[in-house]
Amino acid sequence: VFNFAAGPATLPENVLLRAQSELYNWRGSGMSVMEMSHRGKEFLSIIQKAESDLRTLLAIPPEYSVLFLQGGATTQFAAIPLNLVSSDDTADYIVTGSWGDKAFKEAQKFCKPKVIWSGKSEKYTKIPSFHDLDQNPDAGFLHICANETIHGVEFKDYPTPKNKNGILIADMSSNFCSKPVDVSKFGVIYAGAQKNVGPSGVTIVIIRKDLIGNAQGVTPVMLDYKIHDENNSLYNTPPCYGIYMCGLVFEDLLEQGGLKEVEKKNKRKGELLYNAIDESNGFYRCPVDKSVRSLMNVPFTLEKSELEAEFIKEAAKEKMVQLKGHRSVGGMRASIYNAMPLAGVEKLVAFMKDFQARHA
């Protein structure tokens, strides 16, 4: 089966088989990773290796901390303003889709954020031109969603923050580790693991160390970066098994040759699928501006929308599942994260051509 789900999503088969082989007895310890104390030497070696491999993959500079947290990216929507600004401060949000919008709305509870650009009136199909952005020099940070999972809009480059502290923050949940990123451009990068790097339940935060330690007084202990940083993500019981799985994925990405190689594969898959859509004479349509189409989530519709349910049903019969678009936008969405093999996209494209030939 080729699984095109948006997350939780398909994971590399070799990673799952490795986890299976270690399930009852992790490397001769006599314990499953699920049974280990998070303070024992076995788990400490797992979390330290996961962090060190992630640092290698993304070339994370030493002045950044890596935190393995819980609560999903949704919890970070609150943690970001709580840790970085006071309740009277303002912050700039660029809203290029539903997730950026949710981040902004949550921030309204903890500071005075402002949307400086929204793609809503154009149905979230664009990224703004950075020159035209009206950034507030007094803002505490500039927030973006690097890849909008529902709308399929991806930043290919990043705006220079022009706020007082020069801080750019990115929700990278759905394109984390899909390509190299210059971490030094960001104050904070955060991502739920469940698309590209593991199961749900782990949220990764990469934060510049000098931004830690200024949380608002009301910040719950579980949302305070300082607490997690001082305790190496072990203040309370972390999502141990999920962190272990992320570690296996990081090892696999390194074995593939790192993120440059991973990006090449992702570009090839994306090109194949977008070309199939664009060369269908309008039978299939992708509304997103060509220059900012996501390499991870490919939304498309059928000119004859009444055929969409049939498309999804027939694809499932051919063992291509989870192609239904998000309930808020309809149509189809093929999520083609790192772990989706080229063969999966080739099969989908062949099916699309055959479906068109039968229904055009």
With binding defined as CB under 6 A, does residue 197 bind ligand PLP?
A: no
With binding defined as CB under 6 A, does residue 224 bind ligand PLP?
A: no
Please say whether the beta carbons of 242 and 199 come within 8 A: yes
With binding defined as CB under 6 A, does residue 155 bind ligand PLP?
A: no
Q: Which is nearer to ligand PLP, 113 or 280 (CB)?
A: 113
Least CB distance from residue 298 to ligand PLP, whole Å? 14
* Number of alpha helices (DSSP H) and beta strands (DSSP E) in the chain: 9, 14
With binding defined as CB under 6 A, does residue 111 bind ligand PLP?
A: no
With binding defined as CB under 6 A, does residue 101 bind ligand PLP?
A: no
With binding defined as CB under 6 A, does residue 192 bind ligand PLP?
A: yes
With binding defined as CB under 6 A, does residue 171 bind ligand PLP?
A: yes
Q: Which is nearer to ligand PLP, 265 or 333 (CB)?
A: 333
Q: Which is nearer to ligand PLP, 187 or 192 (CB)?
A: 192
Is 313 a residue of the active site?
no
C-alpha distance from residue 253 to each of 50, 102, 243, 256, 294 (Å) = 12, 30, 15, 5, 20
DSSP assignment string, 39-74: TSHHHHHHHHHHHHHHHHHHT--TTEEEEEESSHHH
With binding defined as CB under 6 A, does residue 174 bind ligand PLP?
A: yes
235-274 residues in contact with ligand PLP (CB under 6 A) are none
Closest CA to 309 of 320, 325, 297: 325
Using DSSP, state whether 170 is helix, strand or coil: strand
- ∠ CA 235-241-244, nearest 5°, is 95
Please say whether the beta carbons of 290 and 271 come within 8 A: no
Is 88 a residue of the active site?
no
Using DSSP, state whether 111 is helix, strand or coil: coil
DSSP assignment string, 305-334: GGGHHHHHHHHHHTTEE--BPPTTT-SEEE
Q: Which is nearer to ligand PLP, 73 or 80 (CB)?
A: 73
Q: Which of 2, 26, 43, 99 binds ligand PLP (CB under 6 A)?
A: 99
With binding defined as CB under 6 A, does residue 325 bind ligand PLP?
A: no
Is 99 a residue of the active site?
yes
With binding defined as CB under 6 A, does residue 118 bind ligand PLP?
A: no
- Which of 92, 171, 224, 252 is flagged as catalytic? 171
Q: Which residues contact 193 (CB under 8 A, 6 or more apart)?
A: 176, 199, 200, 201, 202, 203, 204, 242, 245, 246
With binding defined as CB under 6 A, does residue 199 bind ligand PLP?
A: no
> Which range binds ligand PLP by CB under 6 A, 72-80, 81-89, 125-133, 250-258?
72-80
Determine the length of the chain. 360
Q: Can you read off the two tokens belonging to residue 322?
A: 């989870």
Closest CA to 11 of 330, 282, 358, 335: 335
Q: Which is nearer to ligand PLP, 145 or 167 (CB)?
A: 145
Least CB distance from residue 223 to ligand PLP, whole Å? 13
Contacts with ligand PLP, residue ranges (CB under 6 A): 7, 72-74, 99, 145, 149, 171, 173-174, 192
Q: Which residues are catalytic?
A: 99, 171, 195
